[in-house]
Amino acid sequence: MRLNEELVTKTYRRAPYRTFTLFEGKTRRVSATPFRDRVVQHAVIGVLDPIFERPFIHDSHARPERTHAALNRCQACASHFRYVLKA
């Protein structure tokens, strides 16, 4: 309820990231967003994603739900073209 009130009254401020180190074969420094900020991010994505999805080109696969489509497209292109540019 408090988060909703902060968003409505435009007083919401994101919290600082929590930074820690993971050791999984190699050392990685990770910066994690607090849970309430992830809730806000997902809410914003829910509104903006449909707006920005339409104008994307067919080969825009930089979204989690498009992983298999990206792999399939890459395999199809690899069978027709000698080089692939990952950008």
The pLDDT of residue 38 is: 95
Q: Evaluate if residue 1 carries a pLDDT over 90.
A: yes
Q: Evaluate if residue 87 carries a pLDDT over 70.
A: no
- Take residue 45 and report the two structure tokens written for it: 């994505």
The pLDDT of residue 5 is: 95
Domain borders along the chain are 2-80
Q: What is the pLDDT of residues 38-84, one digit of tens each?
A: 999 999 988 988 888 777 777 777 766 777 888 888 888 888 888 87
Question: How many CB atoms are closer than 10 A to CB 8?
Answer: 9
Q: Evaluate if residue 34 carries a pLDDT over 70.
A: yes
Given a contact cutoff of 8 angstroms between Cβ atoms, the answer to whether 34 and 15 are in contact is yes
Report the predicted TM-score, pTM, of the whole model to 2 decimal places.
0.60
